Structure 1
Amino acid sequence: MFLEPINPVQGVHPVGLFEVNGDTRTHLATTGSHTKAALNFTPGRHLLMALQVGGRAHFLEVNVEAGKRYYVLERFVHGDGFQLLPLRTDGLSDYSTMHRDFPAWISESRFVNMTSESVEIFERNKDSVNKLQAEGWKTWNEKTPQQRADLTLNPADAFFD
């Protein structure tokens, strides 16, 4: 589940969530202020990207198991777009399902569905999206192994509710 619990001013522009596989980009969902998107993935590894038109592209590796629920926070970073942060279940991270605001993130957000309007936003800006993705990918490749590990959703992060 992807959570965007931020205020309407920060979330004024929609965030596209994409799966990236080589040269292929698949639009999975578009979120906005106080929304959440439930996405299903086949078990295994996936590369996801969050992109706000005019912002920056941020990547997240996921390694998921069948039948389990995982949470990802779409964290607004001023001047840097929306970072995808895995919500850990062990409570050792600042971003975890044990965070004091986690219940509010769930209860105060509404589910969003993919619409033709949300797809059109990113299709209309395809050249910009391509450029932002390439720039974001360069930044991702410059990250250290530890930075990548911090931005990887692991099987151990499964949440049972």
Structure 2
Amino acid sequence: MKKTLIMVAAILALSACASSGPPPPPTFIDATATTLSAPPADKAQIIFLQPKNLMMPLAAVGIYDVTDSDMTLLSMLPTHSKSVHLVTPGAHRFMAGYGAYNYLMDANVEAGKRYYVVARFIYGMGFQLRPIRTSGKAGFSVENPDFAGWVSKTRFVEKSPEADLLHAKYKVGNETAKAAAIADLLKKTPEQRAELTLNKEDAIAQ
């Protein structure tokens, strides 16, 4: 099954190591906008961060919207990068995909608000989406002294046309990965699922 799971990010990592021939087109490019605009009144703004990945700095994680039956590739995030997305208020589900490892995060967001989510690199296990809270001593809150650096030292990126081509090419495997990620989420305790859920009250002004 693992051979059929999401391959977009894995292809990027392998191609970066190629020693001959021209490199393939990148799956991410620098974003046109380099400053953060305020969220519009009718949409919620979610900023996905990939602040550090010392073990595999060339690896890019795919961020997907899997709220509906369709599976939409939102962005490809290399290390030290971020992408900004506007979504309708209410319930959503997102997935971080890297090779055979795919993790879900549920969200319930409010219009006119800004939210942050970190793609946390777990050695040998891909990336996990972690909501940033407004308070708390855990590592994933604005009280973490590293948070300001996660925001200021990451560059804005967008997915490239190549990323969409690869996503379409591996559509069947992507859907298999989504089903496996859902099954994994259902095995978690209510406490574990709550830890991985982005809530309305997690809105952050900065």
TM over 0.5: yes
Output the amino acid matched with 1:5. Answer: P
Q: What amino acid maps onto 1:29 in structure 2?
A: S
Aligned partners of 1:11 and 1:28: how far apart in 2?
20
Corresponding residue number in structure 2 for 1:27: 73
| CA 1:12–1:127: 2 relative to 1, 3 Å | farther
Shift of 1:9: 4.0
- Opposite residue 148 of structure 1, the aligned amino acid is R
Matched, 1:40 2:86: yes
Superposed CA offset, 1:71-97 (max 9, x none): 001000111110000010112432111
In the alignment, does 2:145 pair up with 1:63?
no
| 1:1-38 Cα deviation digits (max 9, x unpaired) | 11001136424222111111343211111111110011
User: What secondary structure does 2:92 align onto?
Assistant: strand
Which structure's CA Rg is the greater one?
A: 2
CA shift at 1:98, angstroms? 1.5
> In structure 2, how many angstroms separate the alpha carbons of the residues matched to 1:11 and 1:133?
25
Q: Work out whether residues 29 and 114 of structure 1, in 8 Å CA contact, stay in contact via their aligned partners in 2.
A: yes
Unpaired runs of at least 5, structure 2: 1-46
| 2:119 corresponds to 1:94 | no
Is contact 2:64-2:95 (8 Å) kept?
Answer: yes
5+ residue gaps, structure 1, are none
Q: Report whether the alignment pairs 1:79 with 2:159.
A: no
Instruction: Tell me if the contact between 2:48 and 2:82 (Cα under 8 Å) persists in the aligned partners.
Output: yes
Summarize deviations over 1:77-131 as a string: whole Å, max 9, x none: 1111100000101124321112111111111110011220222333333343233
1:133 aligns with 2:203: no
**Deviates most, 40-49 or 23-32:** 23-32
Output the TM-score relative to the length of structure 2.
0.72
- Farther off after superposition, 8-17 or 26-35: 8-17
Hey, what does 2:149 align to over in structure 1? 104
On the 8 A contact 1:46/1:63 being kept in 2, the answer is yes
| More off after superposition, 65-74 vs 10-19 | 10-19
**Equivalent AA in structure 2 for residue 112 of structure 1:** V
Counterpart contact for 1:73–1:84, Cα < 8 Å = yes
How far apart in 2 are the matches of 1:118 and 1:66? 29
**Residue 128 of structure 1: SS of its match in structure 2?**
helix
Q: Is the 8 A contact 1:16 1:122 kept in 2?
A: no
Given that residues 137 and 143 in structure 2 are in contact (C-alpha distance below 8 angstroms), is that contact kept between their aligned partners in structure 1? no
- Matching residue of 1:14: 60
Query: How many correspondences in the alignment?
Result: 160
Counterpart-to-counterpart distance in 1, 2:199 and 2:57? 27
Residue 5, structure 1, aligned to residue 17, structure 2: no
Percent identity (aligned): 39
